[in-house]
Every structure is written in C-alpha cells, then in structure tokens.
Amino acid sequence: MLPATPVALPRAALWLGYGGLLPFVGGALLLWLVHAELNPRLAHVMSGYAATIVAFLGGIHWGLAMRQNPPSMTSLAWGVVPALVAWIAVAMQPAAGLVLHGVMLIVCYLVDRRVYPVLGVAAWLVLRFRLSAVASMSCFLAAAATV
C-alpha cells in the first residue's frame, strides 16, 4: 500500500524527477503539433529518451542490490531486463516501440511497488507513481501520433 501522505523527499529529487517529464510531455505534444514529415525523427528521439529512462529504472535495482550482502540475484537479474526491453523497443517502429516503452514504465513501477518496501525505499513510491503515470501516458499518446 502507498502511504496516505507522501513522505518529504529531497527537493532536488522532486525538481529533477518532474523536470525529467519535460521530454516525455513535450515530445508527445510536439508529435501532435509538428508537420508530419518531422514525426519520424521526433518519435525516434522520444523513443531514445524513453529507453534511457527505462534502463535507468532497471539500474536502480543494481544500486539497491549493491547495498545488500550478498547482493540479491533477483535484483541483479531484474536490473538488466528493462534495458534489454528498451533496446528492443528502440529498434522497433516508433508506433510500436513507444507503446512498449509505456508498458515497460508501468511494469517497472509494479515491480518497484513490491520491491521498494522490502528494501526500505517505499517513500519514493508516490513520486515513482506520478512520474511513471505521466511518462507512460506520454509514450502512448506519442505512439498514437505516429500512426
């Protein structure tokens, strides 16, 4: 369960987290507004950014595993899955790849929702939910603009 009231996170984390949504929201918006001939390049750029974020979410699990003695093989194994899926998504046509990125952002959140409380970082889940919701919706809207 998510806490009823969010725990105060460092202001820098909030600024950087919400700032990290700008390429998602801006990219999705631009895909709907710019001339159609610019869409393939813009969609590719957005897919690359989404891949970077998805891979980052996996990398967090490596960081958390490194705090354990011995490191959890489950955390280490899961930590590489998002990067591999993101790599595949970038290789796909943007309409499909952006959908895969959006799905993967949701899957990463669902995994984190189970793992973070066990590892003592549940306070980050409210922010993670907000960021994942906006980022995944942006990916889905961007994919729809490329069809």
Percent pLDDT > 70 in the chain is 95
Token pair of 135 as six digits: 């980022």
Q: For the chain, what is the mean pLDDT?
A: 93
Residues 65-120 pLDDT 10s: 999 899 999 999 999 999 999 999 999 999 999 999 999 999 999 999 999 999 99
Whole-number pLDDT of residue 4: 45
Q: How confident is the model at residue 28 (pLDDT cuts 50, 70, 90)?
A: very high
| DSSP codes of every residue in the chain | ---SSPPPPPHHHHHHHHHTTHHHHHHHHHHHHS-GGGHHHHHHHHHHHHHHHHHHHHHHHHHHHHTSSSPPHHHHHHHHHHHHHHHHHHHS-HHHHHHHHHHHHHHHHHHHHHHHHHTT-GGGHHHHHHHHHHHHHHHHHHHHHH-
Q: How confident is the model at residue 6 (pLDDT cuts 50, 70, 90)?
A: low
Instruction: Record the pTM.
Output: 0.92
Write down the domain spans for the chain.
21-146
